[in-house]
Structure 1
Amino acid sequence: MTLSVHWRLDPAAEPRRSEPGAWQRLPALARDRRVSTQNRFDYFLQVAQAAAQTAFDGLFVRHRIEADESRIIAAIIARAVPHIHVVPEFPASVGSAVYAAKQATTFQRAAHDRLGWAIAPDAEPAGREAQADFVSDGDLAQRLDEFLTVARGVHRERPFSFKGSYFEVENGGFDAPLNRASFPRVYLQGSGDAALALSGRHADMHLFAPASTEALAKDIARLNALADGRSVAAGLIQPLLVRDERQTAERDARDRPLAPGTLVASYDEAAEILAGFAAIGITELVLEATPTLEEAYRIGQHLLPRLRALTSAARQAA
């Protein structure tokens, strides 16, 4: 099976890059060609173009309450950077499931079916309440279940009716041309049987956190057991710090904070480890590193060719 590889953009990372008013002044003898209309979104486009130019399959856009809205970033990217898939992450607290589904069909029509939906993990109670979300911890899974049930329902059926604790629809559904667009590919996250069972009901792809090959193999088997006959693919979110030599990567790792589970390795070592994940059933990788723009080029130019050579050879051998 083909391995898809996405790059991950964090809108909250490196907050001064391309932000008006935060530019560093150039030396007096240097000519500054930046214009007043240049802003943060030009930087987001640079990252997306770097991902496209180095043959990533798509771009994930993280949900950050303190940063720009992920779905708007994704829409801007999709029209400016053709061919790559764009997957904004957002929480189920965004509002009406019907309106979210309508936004998705409009996006798909504009971008020729290149949209995915990554449902963000729920924040802690204080964080949710700051976003006007007062649903209790124990009810979050049910709300997400209803959100996805309604969103898919109005997309594929007319009339569609549903009555739940959080969403209610009476004789809804989309007419042409909205119902001709494909529903976005749904990515869910989380650990434990409840999260895997929810993915079994609704997800196209379940994204796992960094773990060993052995642990991931067990998680994938559990996901398949809980999918109740549905086909749910397995993916992995993997932070990286990779260089030509392992010693260089380890030296650079000492100079910066690293996300939990960051893989610190040489390009060759990282390619072998990631290919090992593919061998046990991981079909999609979501890679991330900082600084985001520079590392997109580095990983796209040096790691991806090695990884694809290994996975291609494994497919041919199989």
Structure 2
Amino acid sequence: MTHELNGRTAIITGAGQGLGRSYALALSRAGANIVVNDIGRGPDGRPTAEAVCAEIQAAGGKAVANTDSVSERDGAQAMVRDAIEHFGSIDILVSNAGIERNKSYGKSTDEEWEAVTSVHLTGTHYLCHAAWPHMLEQQRGRIILVSSPSGLWGNFAQSSYAAAKMGIIGLGTVLAIEGQRKNILVNSLAPIATTPMTEALLSPELAAKLSPDEVAPAVTKLASDALTTTGAIIVAGGGWFSSAHISLSPGVHFEGRPGPADLDARWEEIVSGDKSAPSGPLDPDTLQKMFVGD
């Protein structure tokens, strides 16, 4: 066990299996107290959150199990309450819980859309909103919002999942802006791993190389007190760590109001990403400089 997170308390949702379990074990090994959240049950009927909690305790860590649903506001508040009542603070959030309802868009239903977005996007909001006042008061927090490569680049039959996962990145970007002055650092993580949700899509050879444990070091880094990064999108899997960026091409600036023919003549320059570069937000100050000048 290391000690860089000694005294810190983390909530990890969806921590009863797969990536969430790996995150919980890694943060516990770093010294954090863990609220293990999951609504699932194992083959023996035992809550998976309790099984992971027992695993942490057997290794000398401190953990408490929580089986509330993150898709309900009361459930998110109960997780934060458990963290404070058992361990005295809430310092780290890992919003990881998720489900899939994979169907091509034309065959999908409103009920499936609501089921997916209520867990991923609304659930992430509920969790962050419940913890945010406590982090503001203590002027410290680390929030890791689990997105997905599907949210960044899309994937067939995952419209609701991709929309929710990209929405999480938008939420994380705003929370990073609002939280930075209070030492609340918020980053997104797009993991690449073999999990119960992905294993059927991967070849056995690829699945063997993408253990969830290979992603967990990114979570430990993003949870650390020494972290100074906020607003990043980390992509991690198979021992590979990278970052994704929202980029802008140079574009074309017309003098006067362009007509359809003007856009047609320069369209390839407008849509080309060949000269794109990472971009900061197009906030009013940036737009003032672009269109008016300093």
TM-score (norm 1): 0.33
Higher relative contact order (CA 8 A, sep 6+): 1
